[in-house]
Amino acid sequence: PVDVHGYTDSGGGPVAGTANVSVEAESPGSGYNVGPSSFTIPAFSGTDKYSKVTGENTAAMSGGETKEVSVVTTADINNAKNDFSKEVVDAAKKEAKDKVKKDYTLKDEALKVEVISNTASNAAGDTVDQFTVKINAKVQAVSYKEDNLKKAYAKKAENEGGGIKNVVDDGYDKAKTTVSALDMEKGTFDIDFIADIYLSSILDVNMIKDELIGQTENKSKDFIMGQEGVTDVSFKFWPSFLKRIPRIKSHIKIKAEVSKVETDEPVEEKNQSG
């Protein structure tokens, strides 16, 4: 409501009361930007006040316009933060891997990117065509020198032989590896290996030659087949009609061939690297 003082009369006739008020157009648009003019009040139509209570603006009205504007929503901000966060994390991981030294390896499981802060330049409801999102991220990674790990693994594989077997293939190149017990503060983690390690028995060639001197083919075959790990044996005699092992040790030649035989269960190893 607007309070208007009553009229006054100082002897020169009645003077209407006045009041200064702020007005706002009933609808948007530049059509309401009118110049100085007088106007009636529609609410008083049909009453005595309609002709007695009027208004006027001494200056032109302005500010009215109709246009399309972009308003930032909460969904816009959340979507921008989520999308940009993913881009930053992916880019940080790639950069970390690109900076790893040539002879070092960085596993995905040993690389951690943490978003520390994620802020937008505007709030929901702001009228702007575009806004920016600022993200601070922390990257932590633990890499290891491939050669050191390979040596540790080879030693572990050798221990599987217990000193009585040779390592034919330690399975390193085809091993399945996973990272566990990651400790970023200490810069350590465990690498778990699942690999097929092929071992062969160590044959005492000199002892075998001593036992075979002068023996027949059948007896020689029985003796060799009795050695641990031997699965097959064949002989070549020269001249071919001879069927006995030579009586001179230096004339006996033994060639051992290793064949891979897979077991039902793989060998699992665990090594720690940092």
Q: What is the pLDDT of residues 131-158, one digit of tens each?
A: 999 999 999 999 888 888 888 888 887 7
CB 153 within 8 A of CB 142: no
pLDDT for 226: 93
pLDDT at 99 over 80: yes
What pLDDT is stored for residue 53 in this prediction? Answer: 78
pLDDT of residue 130 exceeding 80:
yes
Tokens describing residue 246? 């030579």
Would you say 54 and 43 are in contact if contact means Cβ atoms under 8 Å apart?
A: no
Q: Is the pLDDT of residue 238 over 50?
A: yes
Asked which of 7-21, 29-43, 192-206, 207-221 is least confident by mean pLDDT, the reply is: 7-21
Is residue 246 reached through a cis peptide bond, with omega within 30 degrees of 0 on the bond before it? no
Top-confidence range, 8-22, 43-57, 87-101, 255-269: 87-101
Q: What is the pLDDT of residue 270?
A: 44
* φ, ψ for residue 146, nearest 5 deg: -60, -40
The per-residue pLDDT for 267 is 40
Q: Which residue has the higher pLDDT, 264 or 56?
A: 56
pTM strictly above 0.75 = no
> Interior CA angle at 127 toward 133 and 33, to 5°?
165
- Residue 169 is predicted with a pLDDT of 80
Please say if the pLDDT value at position 263 is more than 50.
no
Q: Predicted confidence band at 271 (pLDDT cuts at 50, 70, 90)?
A: very low
Residue 118 has pLDDT above 70, yes or no: yes
Higher model confidence: residue 217 or residue 8? 217
